[in-house]
Amino acid sequence: MIKKLIPDYYFKSVYDIPYEQLYEQGIRLILTDMDNTLISYKQTSPDEKLFKLKERILNIGFEFILVSNSRKKRVDYFAKAYDIPYVKFALKPLKRGIKKAIKLAKGKYNKNEILILGDQLMTDTYAGKRCKLVVGLVEAVDKKTDIGPTRFNRRLERFFLKRIKKKMPEEYDKYLKSYGENII
Ligand SMILES: [Mg+2]
């Protein structure tokens, strides 16, 4: 299982991703988590910076779809405000929500053309790997704002990060070191 917790990329934030390069490498669809990936749990209204990022991503030629585990109204609110197609209550790390999102894109992409972005190993990374997608792990926007179930996942995360560090030190150093720095 721990192999499925190792992302293909680590990015400091969604603003630090070389999108043009990923497009050149063949990525066409970006699935993204919402809370603590695009915005913090605390954010209550849309901001210009993210709207511009979305525009940039679309202009490069990507499709961009939100896949959130949250079932709250805020997912509908933000997705509509930013005008991003979305799947809520996605139940990552189950495959269901991700499959639904891929269907939203009319299933026209191969798995190696799909990048999934998220701030949690136990949900986003694991779900992406289970679906055999390309996985980008990002640093949480504001970890202090994590809510109940996420805090539980963070504890699991710490446990697995330690195991990966011990059993697969090269992979840990390459993909997880920065992420794990403040965790273990
Ligand atoms: Mg998240």
> Cis (ω within 30 of 0) for the bond into 18?
no
Residue 21 domain flag: yes
Residue 8 to residues 11, 35, 145, 149, 175, Cα–Cα distance (Å): 10, 21, 26, 25, 7
Going from the Cα of 119 to the center of ligand 1, the distance in angstroms, rounded, reads 5
Residue 184 domain flag: no
Total structural domains within the chain: 1
Residue 149 domain flag: yes
Going from the Cα of 123 to the center of ligand 1, the distance in angstroms, rounded, reads 8
Going from the Cα of 153 to the center of ligand 1, the distance in angstroms, rounded, reads 11
Residue 36 to residues 42, 63, 135, 144, Cα–Cα distance (Å): 9, 21, 16, 10
Residue 94 domain flag: yes
Give the domain CATH number at 21: 3.40.50.1000
Each residue's pLDDT expressed in tens, for the chain with a length of 184 residues: 899 999 999 999 999 999 999 999 999 999 999 999 999 999 999 999 999 999 999 999 999 999 999 999 999 999 999 999 999 999 999 999 999 999 999 989 999 999 999 999 999 999 999 999 999 999 999 988 888 888 889 899 999 999 999 999 999 999 999 999 877 7
Going from the Cα of 125 to the center of ligand 1, the distance in angstroms, rounded, reads 11
The pTM for the full model equals 0.95
Residue 96 has which token pair?
């269901």
Range of the structural domain that residue 130 is part of: 2-179
Residue 175 domain flag: yes
